[in-house]
Amino acid sequence: MGKGLFFWGIVFALAFAACAPSKPVFTGGASETEAAVSGEPNLVNVSYDLADSLISNLREPLARDKIILVASFVDVRYMQRSSNFGRMMSEYVCSRLGQKGYKVIELKLRNAIYVKKKGGEFLLSRSVKEISDAHGAQAVVVGTYAQAMTNVYISARVVQADGGEIISSCDIKLPLDVGLRSMLHSS
């Protein structure tokens, strides 16, 4: 009787685990952690975790008394445009950096923050560099996202304003639900 009960206990545990909702997966540096969310992803919490990862992954510390610019996250296929999803990601990252004591200015530009370069690489546009210089910004937070069939992939970076060097990054895979799909397809 004991073996049968144990067997059915394992079967039910595995069955329930298979039905559990997908969780956002964060990769930022050497380790991977999963956000503890239930059901659909909470974009506020995911964005806050992303900002926290960007801070903890910094190769060199950022001064809290110098400005950090945060640009809207853009669709990797169409670098010139964002969506409600991209704008809200940047809003929440901006909020979190402010909560952590950093001086933050959100970039609300009509033009792209990236300029295409040979080989598919992207650089910060001249206008962002000029704005960075005008504000005395030390860094710019930029992000891209790509929608797949069942997930949204997000990549965020902290880029030094003067030299364009990436000093921190974080990548996220979010399960795609109806709410996120709606935000991704709005302009």
Task: Give per-residue pLDDT as tens, 22-56.
Answer: 445 554 443 333 333 445 678 999 999 999 999 99
> Average pLDDT in the 80-98 region?
90
> Considering the chain, what percentage of its residues have pLDDT values greater than 90?
39
Band the pLDDT of 71: cuts 50, 70, 90. Answer: confident
What is the pLDDT, as a whole number, of residue 18? 41
What integer pLDDT is reported at residue 29 of this predicted model? 41
> How much is the pLDDT for 57?
96
- Specify the higher pLDDT residue, 92 or 81: 92
pLDDT at 89 over 50: yes
Q: DSSP secondary structure string, 121-163? A: -EEE-HHHHHHHHHHT-SEEEEEEEEE-SSEEEEEEEEEETTT
Mean pLDDT of 95-111: 83
Query: Global pTM?
Result: 0.72
The yes-or-no verdict on residue 129 having pLDDT over 80 is no
Q: Among residues 123, 85, 130, which one has the least CA distance to residue 107?
A: 130
For the chain, the distance separating the N- and C-terminal CA atoms, rounded to the nearest angstrom, is 61
Q: Which domains does the chain have, with CATH numbers?
A: 37-184 (3.40.50.10610)
Q: How far apart are CA 104 and CA 95, in angstroms?
A: 8
3-state secondary structure of 91: helix
Q: Mean pLDDT over residues 7-26, rounded? A: 47
Mean pLDDT of the region 150-160: 94
pLDDT of 171 strictly over 80: yes
Token representation of residue 108:
């609300």
pLDDT of residue 175: 93
> Above 90 in pLDDT, residue 138?
yes
Mean pLDDT value of segment 92-109: 89
The 10 Å Cβ neighbour count of residue 7 is: 10
